[in-house]
């Protein structure tokens, strides 16, 4: 099996592993979620109807302000939160909300994280090393990726054989 490792510029929280819900869409805890049922509820969201509880959300950008930040804390207090959120871009308010809600977060990659991480894959988020590892693609398929070099000539997406 190959392993995909992505390195973020921003990270906080604890090391966690879970199934990834991936979409090239934004994220607002206030407008996109039914926080009582634990599912994406905005009809136009690409993850509508899917449960976010105990999952790693891999999305394009954070939307919203203070209300979304407080809602992450509230969701965590009821054990109805994602274990981590991963964004191409994040705003300071949602980063503060992730910290307040004790939800691990990575953001800022040299690639489109929503195009590299397979939906349904088992992923590991390690904020200490600022890495996201795809441990197993959905349905037991090996993970693989193609990528372009970053702007400084180095890539943050590494595809290598996994250690056995």
The model's pLDDT over 34-85, given as tens digits with 9 standing for 90+, comes to 999 999 999 999 999 999 999 999 999 998 788 888 899 999 999 999 999 9
Whether residue 3 is predicted with pLDDT greater than 80 in this model: the reply is: no
Q: What is the largest CA-CA distance in the chain?
A: 46
- Residue 141 · residue 38 · CB < 8 Å: no
How confident is residue 161, by pLDDT bands cut at 50, 70 and 90? very low
Could you give all domains of the chain from N- to C-terminal order, each with its CATH number? Answer: 2-154 (3.50.30.10)
Beta strands in 2-51 (DSSP E): 2-7, 10-12, 16-27, 33-34, 39-40
The confidence score (pLDDT) of residue 156 equals 40
- Residue 112 · residue 88 · CB < 8 Å: yes
Q: Which of 102, 43, 95, 62 is nearest to 78 (CA)?
A: 102
Residue 148 burial (C-beta neighbours within 10 Å; 0-12, 13-18, 19+): exposed
The confidence score (pLDDT) of residue 2 equals 65
94/150: higher pLDDT: 94
Whether residue 164 is predicted with pLDDT greater than 80 in this model: the reply is: no
Q: What angle do CA 15, 46, 48 make, to 5 degrees?
A: 85
The model's pLDDT over 111-151, given as tens digits with 9 standing for 90+, comes to 999 999 999 999 999 999 999 999 998 865 555 444 433 43
Specify the pTM. Answer: 0.85
């Amino acid at each position: 099996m190959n392993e995909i490792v992505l390195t973020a510029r921003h990270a906080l929280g604890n090391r966690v592993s879970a199934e990834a819900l991936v979409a090239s869409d934004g994220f607002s805890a206030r407008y996109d979620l039914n926080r009582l049922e634990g599912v994406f509820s905005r009809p136009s969201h690409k993850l509508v109807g899917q449960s976010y509880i105990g999952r790693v959300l891999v999305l394009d950008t954070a939307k919203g302000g203070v209300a979304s930040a407080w809602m992450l804390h509230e969701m965590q207090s009821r054990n109805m939160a994602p274990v981590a959120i991963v964004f191409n871009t994040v705003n300071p308010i949602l980063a503060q909300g992730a910290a307040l809600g004790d939800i691990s977060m990575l953001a800022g990659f040299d690639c489109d994280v929503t195009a590299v991480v397979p939906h349904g894959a088992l992923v590991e988020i390690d904020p200490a090393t600022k890495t996201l590892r795809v441990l197993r693609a959905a349905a037991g398929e090996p993970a693989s990726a193609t990528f372009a070099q970053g702007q400084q000539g180095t890539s943050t997406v590494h595809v290598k054989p996994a250690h056995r």
